[in-house]
Amino acid sequence: MTGDQELETAYLKMQKLSIELAMDTSLLAVAGVMVAQALTIYRTALSPEEYERICETIYDSRSKVKTFTGPVLQ
């Protein structure tokens, strides 16, 4: 599996899980947990400098974030 395929597969799995969780949990709670988990993984896997760069990249990309398509969950 290529890097792009791996990312797409992970994205779709996480999207499915997020939608399932949002059925009985607020969207903001789901998002908060996801952000906390992501930052924990980044902090664990990256050097302090790399961690700061990824946080800056995430912040700088905030206007490029997609919305879910389909029915509104809440």
- Identify whether 70 is part of a domain: no
- Identify whether 47 is part of a domain: yes
Domain of 28, in residue numbers: 23-60
What is the arithmetic mean of pLDDT over 61-66?
Answer: 91
- Identify whether 48 is part of a domain: yes
Count of domains observed in the chain: 1
- Identify whether 71 is part of a domain: no
Note the pLDDT tens digit of each residue in 3-51: 899 999 999 999 899 889 989 999 899 999 999 999 999 999 999 999 9
DSSP letter for each residue of 16-74: HHHHHHHTTS-HHHHHHHHHHHHHHHHHHHS-HHHHHHHHHHHHHTGGG-----SS---
CB-CB neighbours of 30 under 10 Å: 19
**Is residue 2 very low, low, confident or very high in pLDDT (cuts 50, 70, 90)?**
confident
- Identify whether 14 is part of a domain: no
Model's pTM, two decimal places? Answer: 0.74
What is the arithmetic mean of pLDDT over 58-67?
Answer: 92
Contact 5, 55 (CB under 8 A): no
**Is residue 67 very low, low, confident or very high in pLDDT (cuts 50, 70, 90)?**
confident
